[in-house]
Structure 1
């Protein structure tokens, strides 16, 4: 089976996530409103994300939180949710 070549944008995203010093969580609540949290590790960021979802129920179904890894230089990359 052939292995697919990694896209340059995916490689850059992975490099940013590998150097992340914190992870920011954002949950969209409505026009211009977000619930936010921050965590030092990805595992703790997932816990914070689930907490935000539980504290902010939606009448339209489950909301999907966004998690970004942030480096010391301020670069950020979206963590892919599985």
Structure 2
């Protein structure tokens, strides 16, 4: 039985997200412009991300906000769907 091994970078990213003390949200609006927000939990961050999308409509299609988990030491990792 072959178990899929976790890549060291994926393990490090998972550790950062496990120890996150806040979540930062960024929505790209255009060249050098971002809508930003922060939240204490991942669920609150997802709600805040939806609010940013709703308050900043994009005529060229829907852009997805990026959510980063940030540790107390300042390390961050991108929250992905998996």
TM-score by length of 2: 0.95
TM-score by length of 1: 0.95
The unaligned stretches of length 5 or more in structure 1 are none
After superposition, the CA RMSD in angstroms is 1.1
Cα separation, 2, equivalents of 1:44 and 1:3: 34
The equivalences for 1:7-26 within 5 A come to 7-26=7-26
- How many residues matched? 82
Match of 1:63 in 2: 63
Cα separation, 2, equivalents of 1:64 and 1:2: 35
Match of 1:42 in 2: 42
